[in-house]
A and B are shown apart, each in its own frame.
Chain A
Amino acid sequence: MGRYSGKTCRLIFMLVISVIFFVAEIVAGFMGNSIALVSDSFNMLSDVLSLCVGLTASWVSRRAGSGRSTYGWVRAEVVGALANAVFLAALCFFVSVEAIKRLARPEAIDDPKLVLVVGALGLSVNTVGLLIFQDCRSCWCLGSRMKRAHESTKSDGGCEMNGEAGAVSEPPQKEGQPFNIRGVLLHILNDALSSMVVVVTSALFYVWPLDPGAKCNWQCYVDPSLTLIMVVIIMSSAAPLLKETTTMLLQMCPADLPLAALVDEVCLLPGVLGVHDVHVWELCKGRLVATLHVHCSPELQGGGAAFTSLSRQMRQIFHRAGVHSLTLQPEFGEPQPGKGVCAATCLEPSCQKLSCCPHATRQQTAVSQNNGHPLLPLTEVSVDRPDSTSTLLRERAGASKTVQSTEF
């Protein structure tokens, strides 16, 4: 689509509207000496901040990679979404603190008419924002996804993030959106709900005004109670986003990837004696990266063509699983029984602690560790199956045990 995809345009548009409304509210608040207006304008300010974070993340993620980042900056959107989600959680915490203080010491609204007007305006601005970032994309993308089903390689900037060719089922609407849009959407939803609470409470006080100096009745408790309910709603909406972004940033294996089955399939290929140090992680939505070490039988050592062919077969297996960036490290020779550790570790034992997956030192346990899993008895050959319950090792039928191991 180009540099200015629909996503950025909408973020900029919403940012402009929010800034205008914020400035108008704060000026009106100071001129009219109304605290309600000033505090509502701060809600708008937090929206503006979250939009800035979203825009910055979007801009950074489009920058080309450099010597500073070999993977490019595509992860910026994930980090931006996490920052927005945590910021929102913090704001919800402080808002609930205020609500609890209000429950402890209830107050009536002083000028319900003004607050009602301001609340209604804020609600309209936020509703516009919700509409902008919502449905249209999935309707539009549905059309292009149908075209994509005929194996076109068209890649629209707008739809690309929304579900790639590998997506089989229609994802739920919110989850299909890019992360930073979801983060911003949550902030706008928060603001919209709080404006709604303001409108409801001020309408109550407008319709049934409280005499000045009279004791607070049930009306005074409506605002804080609704606020607390709103916090619960927002937090439960933010939880999936928090979970997905943390999963990605912690280098976790995607939940829908059948890693054990993949490793099984790879082990069944001819010439593969064992597999270890398998790592699969998600760089950003849809981009999976995998690395693994493969213990190959000595026959493959001779010509490059045999290894290349094995490599291609492995890539096919990973491709079908949706992993398109794969780095395979071959290791030749018979794996030693009971070892199952890498034949090509770094130079010194001390480097183990600084490798990605430190092994336990051998003198501590009789059974050695393999990527953190205890191995079964020594007669079996190890395969690093990243499965915490089973460390079943697999031995190639007919493989000789007397070949010298050749190392890197």
Chain B
Amino acid sequence: MAWEPKRRRLLCMLSLTFGFFIVEVVVSRMTASLAMLSDSFHMLSDVIALAVALISVRFAEMTQSTATNTYGWIRAEVMGALVNAVFLTALCFTILLEAVERYTVPHEIENPRAVIWVGAAGLLVNLLGLFLFHEHAGHGHSHSHSHSHRTKTNKVSEKSSNTKSRLDGSSEDLSCNLVVNPGSEKKSADMLCNEEVEVRLNGGVHLEDLEATQDSASQLNMRGVFLHVLGDALGSVIVVVNALIFTYVWQSCPSKGPCNNPCFSQHCPHLMPLNGTSDSEVPSAGPCWVLYLDPTLCVLMVFILLYTTFPLLRESALILLQTVPKEVDVRRLRQRLRSLEGVLAVHELHVWQLAGSRIIATAHIKCHDPDAYMDIAKRIKGMFHDEGIHATTIQPEFGGAATAESGDALCELPCRIQCAPKQCCGTGTIIASAGSPTSRRTSDSQVQYQSHTGTAVTYTEGQGAEVKLQRDVESAV
């Protein structure tokens, strides 16, 4: 399964990072270095991010439907990606705050040589992490294509053998019956189904790409991990560079004797020595810009991280917000559905992404002929299949003569009128009926509410619904 290598890599990186965190804590206690202690806690935040990703992967393996989660847990990876992205943003925020504090009160590094060694070791760990997760750096498409080409022949042969054995197992295989008449011979069903497997796959998208894009949910999750490791790597780079410059450029004050420290004493000129000693005899602490190097580099790092984290945040949030995936054009889909013969109207069309390439659609289709419905339904399924949507629930509605001009007929089977605000797409705003801006209902058995597309809808109990297309409804609210 695709989960195993991912889990192994995550576990490996998790144990390495945690081990290094312990090492850094111990060294910081031995050298009494506060800077090293703070760096060790940056490692700990990495550990947390990796743990979140690992838990998400573990959950997302359970794709089966259960009592508590009818869709399985596959969305856990998208959630993991969002949590990691927000955590990273919070990390950037705190680094920014520390940098601002460093600008006001610059710190010297206490023990630069020890910091160089530990920083270099941390950088090594992070570079290893970057190497482990580098495939997930981009949007994942480049990875999927290369992966798919490598396994192209294997997958296709595996697929056709799967289909064959399914047919062998049961002569009335229902999924194959979709393309074959129920009465056909098994052999011809075999062949036809195999042809269909090779020819009509996702409306022209090849089988390999299909396999490859399945992982895009986990791509998001691993991208979150990659960004964390990248942030830590950049942090280690800054630590090492800073420590190196401190060792070779900075001249600190000697522990004994007078010292002129222009970087700290700007506010307190009265502390300068007054006994007439010339300036050249009093050692000065090193160039002040060195003290401001650390916070400046940190601020730069924060901007880089935020810039790379924002797309991840947006993508995972859009999936969780039940938006339509970018590949699907809902308006065009709706037009194509309406243009089918026998379809009077389409409403309650919803398309959303569960995770990765699992796109789910529901629609209510109004037809006038129940007998022709099954044929229509087959074509509808085919149309959704062409768009890459394989999990659909289509509700047929029969009867109901008049429809609105736009073809957006209303549901023949709505819930009760009071439920309009609690349906998936009511805004819940009851607007005034025409002529009486203050009353909330037109009559006891009628209610007007505003649908999410801005049209005003009047429901009359027992008589179905009637649409008044009011484009300016929204401005009234």
Contact = CB atoms under 8 A, between A and B. Distances in A.
A215 interface: no
B467 interface: no
A63 to B, nearest CB: 9
A293 B41 CA distance: 51
A354 B424 contact: no
A166 B64 CA distance: 30
Given A154-B440, A250-B79, A345 B178 contact: yes
Nearest to A86: B86
A372 B69 CA distance: 12
Given A347-B200, A373-B65, A405 B75 contact: no
A364 to B, nearest CB: 10
Given A307-B398, A355-B358, A373-B65, A64 B429 contact: no
Contacts of B44: 97
A73 B429 CA distance: 15
Contact of B396 (A3, A72, A330): A330
Contacts of B91: 90, 94
A334 to B, nearest CB: 11
Interface in A321-371: 322, 324-330, 332, 336, 339, 341-358, 361-363, 369, 371
A191 interface: no
B413 interface: yes
B201 A350 contact: yes
Contact of A344 (B97, B364, B377, B429): B377
Interface in A19-38: 30, 33, 35, 38
A287 B419 CA distance: 10
Interface in B145-189: 159, 162-163, 165-166, 169-170, 172, 174-179, 182
Interface string A61-94: 0101101111111011001001100110111011
B174 A339 contact: yes
Interface string B109-152: 00000000000000000000000000000000000000000000
B163 A349 contact: yes
A355 B391 contact: yes
Interface stretch (B9-17, B254-262, B318-326): B318-326
A287 B381 CA distance: 27
Contacts of B447: 153
Contacts of B66: 372, 386, 388
Contacts of A87: 86, 89-90
A101 interface: yes
Contact of B421 (A30, A155, A307): A155
A42 B95 CA distance: 12
A249 interface: yes
A386 B170 contact: no
B30 interface: no
Contact of B424 (A33, A71, A91, A363): A71
Nearest to A72: B452
B79 A372 contact: no
Contacts of B321: 69, 73, 75-76, 79
A72 B385 CA distance: 24
B51 interface: no
B453 A357 contact: no
Interface in B71-95: 71-73, 75-76, 79, 82-83, 86-87, 89-91, 93-94
A281 B70 contact: yes
A347 B320 contact: no
A354 B412 contact: no
B71 A251 contact: yes
Given A153-B441, A253-B68, A324-B422, A291 B413 contact: no
A372 B427 contact: no
Interface string B380-419: 0110110010111111111100000000000011011111
Interface string A374-408: 00000000001011100000000000000011111
B364 A304 contact: no
Contact of B214 (A38, A83, A166, A353): A353
Interface string B358-381: 111011100000110010011001
Contact of A86 (B38, B87, B396): B87
B408 to A, nearest CB: 13
Interface residues of A, number: 124
A344 B41 contact: no
A259 B69 CA distance: 11
Interface stretch (A128-136, A192-200, A265-273, A308-316): A308-316
Contact of B354 (A46, A251, A322, A361): A251
Contact of B210 (A153, A354, A386): A354
Contacts of A329: 393-395
Contact of A153 (B34, B79, B83, B418): B418
Contacts of A347: 178-179, 196, 200, 381-382, 385
B25 to A, nearest CB: 10
A222 interface: no
A293 B393 contact: yes
Contacts of A70: 322, 324, 330, 349-352, 425
A341 B200 contact: no
A160 interface: yes
A17 interface: no
A391 to B, nearest CB: 11
A250 B169 contact: no
Interface in B198-217: 200-202, 207, 210, 214
Interface stretch (B99-107, B239-247, B286-294): B99-107
25 contacts: A35-B105, A65-B453, A75-B320, A82-B83, A87-B89, A87-B90, A93-B48, A246-B79, A304-B396, A307-B398, A311-B395, A319-B419, A329-B393, A329-B394, A339-B174, A345-B174, A346-B384, A348-B196, A349-B176, A354-B388, A357-B64, A363-B162, A363-B166, A363-B169, A405-B172
Complex A-B, nearest 8 residue pairs according to Cβ-Cβ distance, in ascending order:
A372-B64, A304-B398, A90-B90, A351-B390, A356-B391, A325-B424, A324-B415, A346-B390
Interface of A: 2-3, 30, 33, 35, 38-39, 42, 45-46, 49, 62, 64-65, 67-73, 75-76, 79, 82-83, 86-87, 89-91, 93-94, 97, 101, 104-105, 151, 153-155, 157, 160, 164-166, 246, 249-253, 255, 259-260, 277-281, 283, 286-289, 291-293, 301-305, 307-308, 311-312, 315, 319, 322, 324-330, 332, 336, 339, 341-358, 361-363, 369, 371-373, 384, 386-388, 404-408
Interface of B: 29, 34, 37-38, 41, 44-45, 48, 63-73, 75-76, 79, 82-83, 86-87, 89-91, 93-94, 97, 100-101, 104-105, 159, 162-163, 165-166, 169-170, 172, 174-179, 182, 193, 196-197, 200-202, 207, 210, 214, 267, 317, 320-324, 329-331, 348-352, 354, 357-360, 362-364, 370-371, 374, 377-378, 381-382, 384-385, 388, 390-399, 412-413, 415-419, 421-425, 427-430, 440-441, 447, 452-454, 474, 477
Given A354-B214, A363-B165, 16 more contacts: A3-B477, A33-B267, A70-B349, A82-B82, A86-B86, A87-B86, A249-B79, A250-B75, A259-B67, A325-B425, A345-B175, A346-B391, A347-B382, A354-B210, A361-B166, A405-B174
